[in-house]
Structure 1
């Protein structure tokens, strides 16, 4: 019995004694937006203000607005040549090019079979990851051919967040974090320990729990704490090893020291 106790104790120490990741402040910028969507390697900022989607480069800002579709629910600029905007009230996605010109419109109401989408994210080629809340399934949808290339098994708890790159998709629910490949096959599943949102960077994940961030390396199941000095975290983004934290007034840029 004592041997078993010591083994369990050593395992618990190894799990909880992981060294936190330092986040050193690089700069602060006053910035006003309702929501920041993404910041790329060239410091181009994609954001929403007064329901208008904006792309701000070093020398200019361009915008896109669609009053007919109501409130903009979410946006994804992972592929800057095929930015997708999701208008949940109208069950519609707009695809924009890098000049914010409309190049494709997907009205899920007109499809057969009908899709009731709650979350959208970018896939590879001409695809979108779509969470179909009627089926409780994640689908990889080809919007040019209007066909479903892949479909997952149903999930059993409410969806909190959805992020993707060209290879994988991460679905955060109240109970679990799922990772799928582009065939719709489940690659990894870990218990959700109170996380409410996530971002992806080079197939590593940053998770938010209350006002704290955790780093989940691609091949690990144990998130590591990121030291953010009690900054107010309303939104967060990662570009390579640069962490951006936004509190609705100040955009803070920090360098992650990942060993």
Structure 2
């Protein structure tokens, strides 16, 4: 019986290894941050520390802080010319340019109608994707004109995370992964098998479940594990074929070996 169990284990492990995405460790550096927002192709690092957003390029530092709005809930640098900071405690979003200068402030407490926002992500032009917690729907909000360009049907699921680019928005809920286009139409709905975080890169999706990352290529629903082992994943994000993992004041860079 033990021999049969051992054989089954080997077969399962072998299948897992064959179906996984290989990742090669490129760098491992010490880095102090509360969270890392993004790294571009020129290794410009955008991160938060002590509730201050900092942009580090070479040896130059740019900083933005707004203590009156409380802690930074989330930040998104998909569009480096319109970085958005979300302060959930004050129901407010700040839009920054690439020099971290404030170019727009969105106070949802003052908008008509009032919006109770729980999640924010980047949209195209002068828009951001927001999840309206009172209506339980995803909205593409034009912040310059205070209009809704698109909205989804109500979603009866607990929202865990959000990711977007100029054309699509992915909503990770307790039970499903939803993909919407910029018209607010549902494109796909995939069961959530325990994933808790989602990131997007070039329309490829990377998901986190416990201490394992999973990869779903563009226009496919096949989800494969990424072979990064023995590492506590506190935070991760993706730029092109590079996965960055930040944990215990160490920043790891892995290159995905995609076929």
2:39 match: 39
Distance apart, 1:18 and its partner CA: 5.7
> For 1:110, what is the secondary structure of its paired residue?
coil
After superposing on structure 2, the runs of 4+ consecutive aligned residues of structure 1 that deviate more than 2 Å are 15-18
1:156 match: 156
CA distance in 1, matches of 2:112, 2:41: 39
* CA distances 1:155-196 after superposition (whole Å, capped 9, x unpaired): 111000011000100000000000001111111110000000
CA distance in 2, matches of 1:87, 1:18: 43
Distance apart, 1:61 and its partner CA: 1.1
1:8 match: none
Distance apart, 1:248 and its partner CA: 3.2
1:93 match: 93
Is this contact kept in 2: 1:34–1:248, CA < 8 A? Answer: no
2:104 match: 104
Gaps of 5+ in 1: 1-14
* CA distances 1:221-254 after superposition (whole Å, capped 9, x unpaired): 1210100022111011111001111113110111
CA distance in 2, matches of 1:18, 1:222: 14
The aligned runs of 1:116-127 (5 Å cut-off) are 116-127=116-127
Is this contact kept in 2: 1:18–1:224, CA < 8 A? Answer: no
CA distance in 1, matches of 2:63, 2:121: 21
Provide TM-score, normalisation by structure 1.
0.93
The aligned runs of 1:178-257 (5 Å cut-off) are 178-257=178-257
2:25 match: 25
Distance apart, 1:42 and its partner CA: 1.0
Gaps of 5+ in 2: 1-14
Is this contact kept in 2: 1:126–1:144, CA < 8 A? Answer: yes
Provide TM-score, normalisation by structure 2.
0.93
Q: What is the aligned residue count?
A: 246
